[in-house]
Structure 1
Amino acid sequence: MAAVANPSVLKTMPYKPSGYHRLASVMSQDANIAIFRRFQELNMLRLLSLQAEIFDLQGHFQFQCQSDDSSNDPLEVQYSRYFLELRKSGKSASGHQWQMLTELGIKLDEYMQQLSSIESPRKSQLAVLRDWLQDSKGGSCFQMGREARLWDGNLEKDFVTLRANDGENDIFTVWITKLIVGIFRRCCGCGGRVVDEESQLLSYDDSILNTASTIIATVMSSVLPVVTILVLYAVKNTVKRICITIGFTAVFAAFLAIFSTARRIEIFAATATFAAVEVVFIGSALSS
């Protein structure tokens, strides 16, 4: 028989979680790496099964509705026109239509829950979790058997995260965020909140990173028109100025389309405003 530890002795000993217990503690302190398997292929199979089942139930339900509509019973004829009578029929043995509708509702609820949109983690979030699991001072590859491959895979869309991705998620913002985190680590030593003492896993406040990236993006977008005017001022030839204007406007529009999540109408409005500033300068230079 296995020996049972004395509860009074356990109370005096500091508890150091290990394995899944330690991983759960880390995830609870940093929701960015609270990442779980979506089991997408199995979910797709389940959805296909539900879809087929709902489709079959729909056929039987429609047949029952037609049967009730053509019935000689005056109550059954009212089922398709009066939901109150349809609900009342559920208490009787002849309420097949209501029973089928109820069963359809249960299956549809399950089907729609499966289809509900859950965000996928960013590559950086998944990378942090994988690094911690393999770190000798972190998870130290504690998982065994098939479970050791739970967070493997090249498709980030196969995973879901409980942490919503706040702020912009465009290429520029992701790059700026990596740059800021790198500066924090090199210049400040840490700059984040320690969520695992032994491995020194750090969690950075998303609001601070988003604010910093917004400031940098705003300053760059504010400086770009001034730089354009400076270039146009240095060039005295009007034809060359017009060509430079076309080039800067195209680059500005391309940067907005690639490095932001702005809609087309927003990109068009911003580009038109930018081009208007350039045209006004060229017009004023010609008149002078």
Structure 2
Amino acid sequence: MSSQDPLDRFVIGYPKLAAQMEILPELAIFRRFGALNAQNLLYMQAELTYLEEELREQQLADKIDGSGKRSKFALDWYWLRESEKNGTGEQLELVMKIREKMKEYNDALVQQAKILKYPKPSTWDLHHIQNYLQSAAMGDLALNGSDAEIWGSACDHKSYKPDLVTLCPRAKKDAFSAWAAESTITNLFRCGCARHMKPSRVHGVVGYEDSTIYRITYWITSILASLIPIASIAVLYRVQSMTARLGIIAGFNVLVSICLMGLANAKRAEMFAITAA
């Protein structure tokens, strides 16, 4: 298969891998470091717990102060703010320390919540980056640090880290479209159809757009959606037995449910509504 590398000007390693992610955003696959993020949150949570206990103890100590000055801290922010000038700013110091740590903790908590919602990479894109890292364009051992094993390898596709996420997931398609796109494109390359195509100026290799496969599966799905009701009517018209008709209706209901799951990616509520209708 003929190819031209549009990334020759990039140094092999991180620069070239980053450039490949730029032209193929679906390859922006990274670790979310779930254990480290959780451990960091646990440490900050523990630190805040100790600071909270210290603050409560200090508040109680200030409340029972004999002079009466410290007892005002819980009633008026002004006196708490001015306590530092009077040499009684222990409680204020704890409040400011907690405020700073709470901001850091809340930011980390919100970021972790967002990261946990990032989807996992598709098998297709994961295999693509595994093959690219060991391709001639990247050379032998393009990455040789500890992070070289993050995405796995072309020899062992399942050796990747379990906490990978993608920043640009592919559009979620139904099971039939996803299967058709992957198997069709793979078979086109196996049968040698790519020999007559020119390499892409952007990607540097011969490729097929999966959007073309999706258009074909869309037409197939549309035709089936029209034919199934017609077929059910035709079959029921020819069958006279009521028992047989009930069995045929049940069979077509099951067929419609299967088509909705595999061809339309329908939700459960939609499946119940359509099959009932």
Which of residues 35, 40, 43 in structure 2 aligns to 1:46?
Answer: 40
Deviation digits for residues 54-82 of structure 1 (CA, Å, limit 9, x no counterpart): 44444445556666778855642336xxx
Aligned amino acid, residue 263 of structure 1? K
Kindly indicate whether structure 1 or structure 2 has the higher relative contact order, using CA contacts under 8 Å at least 6 residues apart.
Answer: 2
- AA aligned opposite 1:18: I
Q: Is the 8 A contact 1:194 1:203 kept in 2?
A: no
Change (3 A) 1:174 1:15: closer
Between the aligned partners of 1:201 and 1:54, the Cα distance in structure 2 is 56
Partner of 1:4: none
Among 67, 76, 79, the residue aligned to 2:73? 76
Q: Distance in 2 between matches of 1:146 and 1:114?
A: 24
Question: 2:234 maps to what in 1?
Answer: 230
Instruction: Give SS of 2:165's match.
Output: strand
Alpha carbons of structure 1 residues 136 and 102: separation in structure 2 relative to 1, 3 Å: closer
Aligned 8 A contact 1:119 1:160 in 2 = yes
**Which is richer in helix?**
1
CA distance in 1, matches of 2:198, 2:220: 18
Structure 1 range deviating more: 43-52 or 31-40: 43-52
Partner of 2:267 in structure 1?
263
Q: Which residue identity does 1:77 align to in structure 2?
A: A
Q: Determine if the alignment matches structure 1 residue 28 to structure 2 residue 33.
A: no
> Percent of counterpart pairs with the same letter?
25
Q: CA deviation at 1:196?
A: 4.0
CA separation of 1:100 and 1:169: change in aligned 2, threshold 3 A: same
- How high is the TM-score relative to the length of structure 2? 0.70
Contact 1:27 1:33 in 2 (8 A): yes
User: Secondary structure, in 3 states, of the residue corresponding to 1:160?
Assistant: strand
* Partner residue of 2:165 out of 155, 160, 163: 160
**Corresponding residue number in structure 2 for 1:112:** 110
SS state at 2:142 partner: coil
1:80-130 per-residue CA deviation (whole Å, 9 max, x = no partner) reads xxxxx3898399434233542342222221232123222221111101111
SS of the equivalent of 1:118 reads coil
Return closer, same or farther for 1:216/1:192 CA change in 2, 3 Å cut-off: farther
The alpha carbon displacement at 1:258 in A equals: 5.9
CA distance in 1, matches of 2:198, 2:83: 65
Distance 1:132 1:175, change over 3 A: same
5+ residue gaps, structure 2, are 1-7, 153-157
Distance 1:191 1:219 in 2: 33
Q: Which amino acid aligns with 2:169?
A: A
Tell me the SS of whatever aligns to 2:168. Answer: coil
Q: Which amino acid aligns with 2:235?
A: V
CA separation in 2, counterparts of 1:226 and 1:54? 67
The match for 2:245 is: 241
Q: Deviations over 1:162-196 (max 9, x none)?
A: 21333x34423321332553577565755994544
* TM-score, structure 1 as length reference: 0.68
In the alignment, the residues of structure 2 paired with residue 22 and residue 142 of structure 1 have an alpha-carbon distance, to the nearest angstrom, of 10
Deviates more, 1:25-34 or 1:258-267: 258-267
Q: Between 151-160 and 85-94, report the one with greater CA deviation.
A: 85-94
Match of 1:5 in 2: none
